[in-house]
Amino acid sequence: MGKNLTSRAEDYSKWYNELVVKSDLAENSGVRGCMVIKPYGYAIWEKMQAQLDKMFKETGHENAYFPLFIPKSYLSKEASHVEGFAKECAVVTHYRLKNAEDGSGIIVDEDAKLEEELIVRPTSETIIWDTYRRWVQSYRDLPILVNQWANVVRWEMRTRLFLRTAEFLWQEGHTAHATKQEAVEEAERIMHLYAEFAEEHMAVPVIKGTKTESERFAGAEDTYCIEALMQDGKALQAGTSHFLGQNFAKAFDVKFANKEGQQEYVWATSWGVSTRLMGALVMTHSDDNGLVLPPKLAPIQVVIVPIYKGLDQLDAISEKVEPLVKELRAKGLSVKYDKRDTHKPGFKFNEYELKGVPVRLAIGQRDLENGTYEVARRDTLQKESVAADAVVEKVVSLMDEIQENIFNKALEYRKEHITAVDSYEEFKQVIEEKGGFVSAHWDGTPETEDRIKEETKATIRCIPLDAKQEDGICMVTGKPSTQRVLFAKAY
Amino acid sequence: MGKNLTSRAEDYSKWYNELVVKSDLAENSGVRGCMVIKPYGYAIWEKMQAQLDKMFKETGHENAYFPLFIPKSYLSKEASHVEGFAKECAVVTHYRLKNAEDGSGIIVDEDAKLEEELIVRPTSETIIWDTYRRWVQSYRDLPILVNQWANVVRWEMRTRLFLRTAEFLWQEGHTAHATKQEAVEEAERIMHLYAEFAEEHMAVPVIKGTKTESERFAGAEDTYCIEALMQDGKALQAGTSHFLGQNFAKAFDVKFANKEGQQEYVWATSWGVSTRLMGALVMTHSDDNGLVLPPKLAPIQVVIVPIYKGLDQLDAISEKVEPLVKELRAKGLSVKYDKRDTHKPGFKFNEYELKGVPVRLAIGQRDLENGTYEVARRDTLQKESVAADAVVEKVVSLMDEIQENIFNKALEYRKEHITAVDSYEEFKQVIEEKGGFVSAHWDGTPETEDRIKEETKATIRCIPLDAKQEDGICMVTGKPSTQRVLFAKAY
């Protein structure tokens, strides 16, 4: 196809990296581990943001903004939290540069050392709960339902575009409640909201569940998650929602007077999804020809390519196409008419395939004579000739069809890649050879979980929400178990 | 009024600080110089963002995202740029914390020192032009019209909420062009766009102009600006747009092959507005009773307050109000019906006055009997009784009236505060006693500019775009001058 894209079968990881760069989503920057999100990639992220933001607001949340920097002492206040983040954080120690006296260039000015180091936020629980202490006095001040769109930094050693970068963009919700029940309900509500977003908008089927203790967020009492499955059989955690108990309220002394006038600690949740979703989107749907984007998130939903010899033919085509562009836009579609004379149709076909534009219309001399368009859908690569007066209706219905088709395709793949096993031998074989989720009994201990991880690289992705109660025995230790959990190798 | 707000006459600066905090726009955080933007303040910023983003896209710009960190060596590549920013930047030197061996707590891990320090971006020209080198080969790759919404950090010693904070939110446009003329046109286009935004949406009249050499952006060949005037007679720079020449292209070796196949350096612009606009908005319109918000940016445009005794009366009122809320919302208005039973009407009146809600409707028993509403507008504090069946039309027209009225009021104030002077004595007197812009002849030298600044604290805000050519003599040195420039004390 002239795209020079490594195939998935050949090297899935290489395919992913090449695709992200070649389709103009993102690229590495000169700063270790930090990416540049290019306009085409950012346009998809903006669509994700807009939809999520709408869903957050519909469920009563408001946006706010908290400082980028976290004093070192704040991070230290919640014990397991600092444990989780101290090992990989960017530390600001000085606030000025100066010219070296020996003329060797610009150096850090040692006279401008901060009294207390500042951490570039890896997540904002600590700075936010320090703020909530000022916001909460009485039960009347609760709940606080706040979200923040922000950049965060975690100094990862091995980075990959979108999937794991030192800096990434995300949203982080931080809510404060008067009761445990309310906070748990909020954490669950958001898990469902994330799942709805992933399935309805990204067309990515996800499994909802809770994390085991060792996979929980640092500082959480319970972590709810949505887990997706990539085409190489590896799982990807797509979003998490944490019930934080009163841990941060206690660490930052956030109390409220209840209706009886007694002081109580506030209950908390936090939850986030990040630009990692971009990685999940690419890896779920795309193929060896390039991106496949769900119509609901595609920056360009329809591209129209004229096929012509000479500018007279182009003018005749444009006369037909321009009113069509208006009609399609009036239907709310994002349409591009690519009449660049500097590139051949074949080049353009390749480009829009690579970029995952859901529907491509082509119109040449014969179409002009017959009153037709060639309509090609990106997901199946099928083409058909459609009468000009039926093309708007066709394109509109294709938006829904493609959205549904790629979801079903991904769901089908996942169904084929959930394997129930009852022995550790079988487990190891499936993890190694077939991949995907493996449903198995486990004795509920971190020790067994660790052993499995060490021996197979598979981790418990979640305890599924819809897991049936079923008596069984742990595949490793033979101890009793009451439900299966889902294992997988994961991103 | 029970708001305990210092009056503007008493202490303008204190009035501003109190107002920002009490009206729930923002507050200081535990991190020096960094603010928390609270939900009500952030909602206004979101409206600003949405409008600006629309205007940028309508003029062909796309959003992207570049790294938060800038390697020290990048910052050093453009000489005047590093000069401008090195003195006030946050420097990341380490990437890990650890537990102190003596058990004294969490400390910086000296084994995790970065080879090269990273600067938290004070602005992104350097990291972006390092990226553009990879994006530009040929004239076909130009222009690049990119904008970024981001946080930036400048380690200011004296900070004030919104006006000057160590971290602030902004947008920064960075464009690359094949010709000087195109780049200059872009820089001018954005100045006009900013002015349109300020005047049409913020209702803040601005003067367009260019900066003198000493007030230019570090690295710019020309800086276009919009200057607003606050109610205390001080000017506020509300937005800048820079023609950067080929300075960054040369520093980062960004060349393109022109149509003749020759290598040329690329021409650049950059431009930005920030959360500082929030400060301008507050200080332009607000009064001793609180915020006055332009309807186009108000998070709540209409509030309805019921006045009742007992829940039966409230029910009767709600029966009338609820359909009205729907009708108003159908007109695209943001409406809040505040029927909280925990607060008295007087408390609510105060609260919405403080928060600058443009229109307040009140309805009590007598209104119910008469079929009327009391309609109060925030800008003039005028109230009138309006028949229920005319209230939608009234409210809709008030939106335009208020938007126009507060703009005209600010414009009137500015007109009264532009004073032309011909002697330095008179200049000093006006600057000291009356404030505002002072229009005067100046000999065009940085030396004279510096002297005036030192002696009066007034700076040249801009060389106005519409300045008439007029022979005159510099008020300080008596040297010849061909046009007046605008001086003022400034934020």
pLDDT digits (tens, 9 = 90+) for A196-253: 999 999 999 999 999 999 999 888 999 999 999 999 999 999 999 999 999 999 999 9
Q: Considering the domain boundaries, does residue B82 fall inside one?
A: no
- A151·B151 Cβ contact <8 A: yes
Q: What whole-number distance in Å separates Cα of residue B377 and Cα of residue B386?
A: 13
**Which chain B residue lies closest to A152 (C-alpha atoms)?**
B68
Residue in B69, B93, B89 with CA at minimum distance from that of residue B154: B89
Residue B90 at interface with chain A, using a CB cutoff of 8 Å:
yes
* Count of domains observed in chain B: 3
Where does the pLDDT of residue A1 fall: very low under 50, low under 70, confident under 90, or very high at 90 and above? Answer: very low
Structure tokens at B195: 């002015």
- The answer, yes or no, to whether residue B1 has pLDDT greater than 70, is no
Local structure of residue B490 (DSSP, 8 states) = B
Whether residue B191 contacts residue B210, with contact meaning beta carbons closer than 8 Å, is answered with no
- The answer, yes or no, to whether residue B134 has pLDDT greater than 70, is yes
- B69·A90 Cβ contact <8 A: yes
Task: Write the pLDDT tens digit of every residue in A375-402.
Answer: 999 999 999 999 999 999 999 999 999 9
Judged by phi (left if over 0) then psi (alpha if -120 to 50, else beta), residue B105 lies in left
Q: Considering the domain boundaries, does residue B93 fall inside one?
A: no
- A64·B39 Cβ contact <8 A: yes
> What is the pLDDT at residue B104?
84
Residues near A329 by beta carbon (within 8 Å), at least 6 away in sequence: A335
Residue B176 at interface with chain A, using a CB cutoff of 8 Å:
no
Once rounded to an integer, what is the mean pLDDT over residues B480-484? 94
- A66·B150 Cβ contact <8 A: no
**Number of CB atoms found within 10 A of residue A398's CB:** 22
> Which amino acid, one-letter code, is at A13?
S
In a shared domain, residues B156 and B182? yes
In a shared domain, residues B229 and B312? no
- B39·A63 Cβ contact <8 A: yes
Where does the pLDDT of residue B225 fall: very low under 50, low under 70, confident under 90, or very high at 90 and above? Answer: very high
Who among B36, B86, B90 is closest to A92 (CB)?
Answer: B90
- The answer, yes or no, to whether residue A316 has pLDDT greater than 80, is yes
Residues near B310 by beta carbon (within 8 Å), at least 6 away in sequence: none
**Number of CB atoms found within 10 A of residue B482's CB:** 12
Residues of chain A positioned with their CB less than 8 A from the CB of B252:
none
Q: Considering the domain boundaries, does residue A28 fall inside one?
A: yes
Who among A65, A155, A169 is closest to B37 (CB)?
Answer: A65
In a shared domain, residues B340 and B229? no
Residues of chain A positioned with their CB less than 8 A from the CB of B67:
29, 31, 34-36, 167
> What is the pLDDT at residue A4?
84
Q: Considering the domain boundaries, does residue A411 fall inside one?
A: no
- A106·B86 Cβ contact <8 A: yes
B162-165: long-range pairs with CB below 8 Å, 24+: B162/B20, B162/B25, B162/B26, B162/B35, B162/B275, B162/B276, B162/B278, B162/B279, B162/B282, B163/B236, B163/B276, B163/B279, B163/B491, B164/B276, B164/B491, B165/B33, B165/B34, B165/B35, B165/B275
Once rounded to an integer, what is the mean pLDDT over residues B352-368? 97
In a shared domain, residues A213 and A331? no
- A76·B108 Cβ contact <8 A: no
Domain span including residue B322? 300-397
- The answer, yes or no, to whether residue A136 has pLDDT greater than 60, is yes
Burial class (CB in 10 A: 0-12, 13-18, 19+), B99: middle
- Is the ipTM above a cut-off of 0.90? yes
In a shared domain, residues B145 and B271? yes
> Which amino acid, one-letter code, is at B407?
F
Task: Write the pLDDT tens digit of every residue in A457-479.
Answer: 999 999 999 988 999 999 999 99
A464-473: long-range pairs with CB below 8 Å, 24+: A464/A207, A464/A208, A464/A209, A465/A208, A465/A209, A465/A210, A466/A208, A467/A209, A472/A422, A472/A441, A473/A441
A-B contacts (CB, under 8 Å) = 186
- The answer, yes or no, to whether residue B473 has pLDDT greater than 70, is yes
In a shared domain, residues B178 and B153? yes
Please say which residue of A259, A285, A311 terminates a domain: A285
**Which chain B residue lies closest to A63 (C-alpha atoms)?**
B39
- The answer, yes or no, to whether residue B4 has pLDDT greater than 90, is no
Distance from CA of A65 to the nearest CA of B (A): 5
> What is the pLDDT at residue B135?
98
Q: What is the percent of chain B where pLDDT is above 90?
A: 95
Local structure of residue B89 (DSSP, 8 states) = -
**Number of CB atoms found within 10 A of residue A189's CB:** 17
Which residue of B63, B65, B85, B114 to mutate against A (max A Cβ within 10 Å)?
A: B65
In a shared domain, residues A226 and A321? no
- The answer, yes or no, to whether residue A83 has pLDDT greater than 90, is no
Distance from CA of A72 to the nearest CA of B (A): 8
Please say which residue of B261, B285, B309 terminates a domain: B285
CB contact residues (below 8 A), chain B span 240-269, against chain A: none
Distance from CA of B395 to the nearest CA of A (A): 25
Whether residue B217 contacts residue B242, with contact meaning beta carbons closer than 8 Å, is answered with yes
> Which amino acid, one-letter code, is at B107?
I
Q: What is the percent of chain A where pLDDT is above 90?
A: 95
- A95·B155 Cβ contact <8 A: yes
> What is the pLDDT at residue B2?
55
**Which chain A residue lies closest to B144 (C-alpha atoms)?**
A39
Distance from CA of B29 to the nearest CA of A (A): 7
In a shared domain, residues A247 and A345? no
Task: Write the pLDDT tens digit of every residue in B278-325.
Answer: 999 999 999 999 999 999 999 999 999 999 999 999 999 999 999 999
Q: Considering the domain boundaries, does residue B112 fall inside one?
A: no
In a shared domain, residues B59 and B159? yes
> Which amino acid, one-letter code, is at A466?
D
In a shared domain, residues A80 and A181? yes
Q: What is the DSSP string of A114-126?
A: EEEEEEEPSS-HH
Residues of chain A positioned with their CB less than 8 A from the CB of B24:
none
Instruction: Classify A342 as helix, strand or coil.
Output: coil
Who among B42, B91, B127 is closest to A108 (CB)?
Answer: B91
CB contact residues (below 8 A), chain B span 138-157, against chain A: 140, 146, 150-151, 153, 155
Local structure of residue A200 (DSSP, 8 states) = I
Residue in B192, B196, B230 with CA at minimum distance from that of residue B209: B192
In a shared domain, residues A62 and A168? yes
CB contact residues (below 8 A), chain A span 119-138, against chain B: 119-120, 127, 130-131, 134
CB contact residues (below 8 A), chain B span 61-80, against chain A: 62-72, 74-76
- B67·A96 Cβ contact <8 A: no
Q: Considering the domain boundaries, does residue A3 fall inside one?
A: no
CA atoms within 13 A on the CB side of B324: 29
- A67·B35 Cβ contact <8 A: yes
Residues of chain A positioned with their CB less than 8 A from the CB of B165:
none
In a shared domain, residues A322 and A463? no
Where does the pLDDT of residue A95 fall: very low under 50, low under 70, confident under 90, or very high at 90 and above? Answer: very high
CATH of the domain at B427: 3.30.110.30
Task: Write the pLDDT tens digit of every residue in A25-78.
Answer: 999 999 999 999 999 999 999 999 999 999 999 999 999 999 999 999 999 898
Helix boundaries (H) for A172-286: 180-196, 247-251, 276-285
Distance from CA of B484 to the nearest CA of A (A): 38
Please say which residue of A365, A398, A431 terminates a domain: A398
Q: Considering the domain boundaries, does residue A404 fall inside one?
A: no
Residues of chain A positioned with their CB less than 8 A from the CB of B134:
27
Q: Considering the domain boundaries, does residue B105 fall inside one?
A: no
CATH of the domain at B272: 3.30.930.10
Residues near B120 by beta carbon (within 8 Å), at least 6 away in sequence: A68, A92, A120, B68, B69, B70, B89, B90, B91, B92, B152, B153
Residue B92 at interface with chain A, using a CB cutoff of 8 Å:
yes
